[in-house]
């Protein structure tokens, strides 16, 4: 996970949406209304979601919303448990003393700390829906940015979602791009193969490369690298879900 990855910060921003949805659901149920306690509870919720989103993003960068939502909920629950333990520790270290004037049959209400714990426990139940909704919306957002299409036919995909600054192309489009580089006297250093299925991009770890020989002229290297790229792409088994990235070089004059 890189701090320069815009998608990470976008996903972190979705923590605000998760918090708003959770508070909204709790407000819909009269028994769970937050009233004046909404600010500290919102801070706790937002902190929990921020931690959950960050860890989930690092462990799962695919656009599969179900997996993304479940991992976010899981890690948010772990963060919740840590916060719960801290609050419980504070309560244990600083117990509230009850006055001797209170009779045995007199009801002693919940303290602010007790109410906070109850609300956090309620969050653990209610937050499942906002977490899954947020993951679904984020997945749609990322998929929309992943696909670069012309008309109704998918021709290329952005690799940004898996931390790669580049674009992968279908077989026919990759051959067209390779020819464009050849006509522009640009050598092709190599390329990688990716599988794009149900909005998820996965590297196949298949690749090719073409290094320049010492005895080659610039034109010879451009021509040979173009031929190597075309041969590899053409011979690769046909699959509509296979995409090729191409790494271009430059000629030192």
Kindly tell me if the per-residue pLDDT of 86 is higher than 50: yes
Q: Alpha-carbon distance 14 to 40, whole Å? A: 19
Asked whether 119 and 42 are in contact (CB, 8 A), the reply is no
Question: pLDDT by residue (tens digit) across 99-141?
Answer: 555 454 444 455 555 666 666 677 777 888 888 888 888 777 7
pLDDT score for 152: 41
User: What is the predicted pLDDT for the residue at 165?
Assistant: 82
Domain with CATH 3.30.190.30 in the chain: 151-248
- Burial class for 151, CB neighbours closer than 10 Å (0-12, 13-18, 19+): exposed
d(CA 158, CA 169): 9
Mean pLDDT of 222-239: 95
For range 75-90, the mean pLDDT: 78
Alpha-helix runs per DSSP H in the chain: 6-28, 38-59, 65-93, 112-126, 128-146, 171-183, 218-235
Report how far residue 238's alpha carbon sits from residue 246's, in angstroms, rounded to the nearest whole number. Answer: 18
Q: In this structure, which topology does domain 151-248 adopt according to CATH? A: Ribulose 1,5 Bisphosphate Carboxylase/Oxygenase (3.30.190)
Give residues with Cβ within 8 angstroms of 23, minimum separation 6: 34, 38, 41, 42, 45
What does the pLDDT look like over 171-211, one tens digit per residue?
Answer: 999 999 999 999 999 999 999 999 988 777 889 999 999 99
Judge contact between 219 and 237, C-beta under 8 A.
no
Q: Which residues pair with 207 in a beta bridge?
A: 192
Q: Look at 202 and 8; give whichever has higher pLDDT.
A: 202
DSSP 166: S
Predicted pLDDT at 74: 86
* Among the listed residues 185, 223, 228, the one whose alpha carbon sits nearest the alpha carbon of residue 207: 228
Residue 29 is predicted with a pLDDT of: 63
Instruction: Dump pLDDT digits (tens) for 149-163.
Output: 433 456 888 887 777
Q: Note the Cα 189 to chain centre separation in Å.
A: 30
């Amino acid at each position: 996970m890189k701090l320069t990855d815009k998608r990470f910060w976008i996903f972190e921003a979705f923590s605000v949406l998760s918090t708003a949805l959770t508070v909204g659901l709790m407000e819909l149920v009269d028994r769970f209304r937050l009233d004046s306690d909404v600010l500290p509870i919102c801070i706790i919720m937002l902190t929990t979601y921020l931690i959950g989103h960050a860890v989930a993003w690092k462990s799962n960068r695919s656009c599969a919303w179900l997996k993304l939502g479940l991992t976010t909920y899981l890690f948010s629950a772990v963060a919740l448990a840590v916060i719960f333990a801290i609050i419980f520790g504070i309560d244990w270290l600083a117990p509230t003393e009850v006055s001797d004037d209170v009779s045995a049959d007199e009801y002693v209400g919940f303290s602010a700390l007790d109410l906070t714990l109850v609300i956090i426990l309620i969050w653990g139940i209610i937050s499942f829906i906002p977490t899954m909704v947020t993951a679904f919306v984020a997945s749609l957002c990322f998929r929309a940015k992943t696909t670069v299409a012309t008309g109704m036919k998918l021709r290329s995909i952005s690799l940004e979602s898996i931390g790669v600054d580049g674009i992968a192309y279908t077989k026919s489009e990759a051959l067209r791009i390779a020819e464009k580089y050849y006509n522009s006297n640009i050598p092709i250093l190599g390329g990688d193969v990716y599988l794009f299925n149900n909005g998820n991009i996965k590297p196949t770890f298949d690749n090719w490369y073409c290094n320049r020989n010492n005895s080659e002229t610039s034109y010879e290297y451009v021509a040979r690298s173009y031929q190597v790229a075309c041969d590899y792409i053409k011979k690769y088994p046909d699959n509509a879900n296979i995409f090729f990235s191409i790494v271009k070089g430059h000629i030192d004059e």
